[in-house]
Copies of this chain bind each other. A is one copy, B any other.
Amino acid sequence: MTREQIPGLSINTATTRRQWTLPQAAENYARLGAAGIAPWRDQIAACGLAHAVRAIRDSGLAVTGVCRGGMFTATDKAGFEASHEENRRAIEEAHELGAACLVLVCGGLPGSSRDIDGARAMVADGIARLLPEATAAGVSLAIEPLHPMYAADRNCINTLDQALQLCGRIDPAPGAHALGVALDVYHVWWDPGLRSSIEGMDPRRLLAFHICDWRVPTRDVLVDRGLMGDGVIDLEDIARMVAAKGFAGLPEVEIFSDELWNRDPEDLVKQCLDRSLGVRRALGKGEPGKGMQ
């Protein structure tokens, strides 16, 4: 593409999960003008993998990620093994769907543990064990650092810098199907080290770029994310940082919102397309030769 081209938008199915099944989402996202989709595994399971693959192939949408693998932290060895087996199935699904990556939400403190260092070590072990299988399947693994408010119950990987250090330790020489990161503005926008972490990262680590917004006030820890423009994140500034890295994927809207789940999904998707224009323009202005695919 040329330098000025505006990239399309991918939509994560969590955004319309209450309104649409996965096949409905695929059909409607494509019809309304989206260019990609990122399905959640429970929605894949609900229609069956073969149906999901067919629906997405028929829609013509790119798959920017499968959500999610991870959850490596467990209270015992059996739990750790079960997590590995589950992640193998997730890799298989990502492979079948031709996904750009499998997103890893790594798990919080297992059981009643207070040992966050231990949880982080367990995550490193789990990813190291999974990576060869992902590589063999041609699937990239994207560690998604989650906002520190989720450190206890969802993910003990909480900053981009921490995720990148983990990548560097486990996979020091990233290849075609690397271990990398999924960068979601909701989780990292506050980080005083964000700019330098992005500037310093190997471009091959940047596997996904998720957008939404941070509402003020945030009325719920889990389900009050905002539509782009309804919050305080300088989305275009972050998009420019990402563009400067030559990010070649589609930006992906992922919004968990009790409010938006009660809205008409067609209007919502149209708004996602509209409200992401600034971000997409910023991404389209990436360095020549390093622009969108």
Contact = CB atoms under 8 A, between A and B. Distances in A.
Interface string A141-167: 000000111011100101100100000
Interface stretch (A34-42, A112-120, A129-137, A174-182): A112-120
A184 to B, nearest CB: 13
Contacts of A202: none
B148 A149 contact: yes
Given A114-B232, A221-B218, A234-B114, A192 B152 contact: no
A109 B221 contact: no
Nearest to A236: B114
A233 interface: yes
A158 B217 contact: no
Interface residues of A, number: 33
Interface string A259-287: 00000000000000000000000000000
A148 B234 CA distance: 16
Most buried by B among A109, A148, A158, A217: A148
B190 A158 contact: yes
Interface in A187-246: 189-192, 214, 216-219, 221, 231-234, 237
Contacts of A120: 192
Copies of this protein in the complex: 2
A232 B113 contact: yes
Contact of A214 (B112, B152, B162, B217): B152
A109 B189 CA distance: 13
State the main secondary structure of chain A at its contact with B: loop
A233 B114 contact: yes
A113 B237 CA distance: 13
Nearest to A235: B114
Contacts of A214: 152
Contacts of A217: 153, 221
B192 A158 contact: yes
Contacts of A231: 152
Contacts of A113: 232
A149 B234 contact: no
Ranked nearest first, the 6 interchain pairs of A and B with the lowest CB-CB distance are A151-B190, A114-B234, A148-B190, A149-B149, A162-B192, A152-B232
Interface of A: 108-109, 112-116, 120, 147-149, 151-153, 156, 158-159, 162, 189-192, 214, 216-219, 221, 231-234, 237
Given A114-B234, A149-B149, 14 more contacts: A108-B216, A113-B232, A114-B232, A114-B233, A116-B234, A147-B149, A148-B190, A149-B218, A151-B189, A151-B190, A152-B214, A158-B190, A158-B192, A159-B192
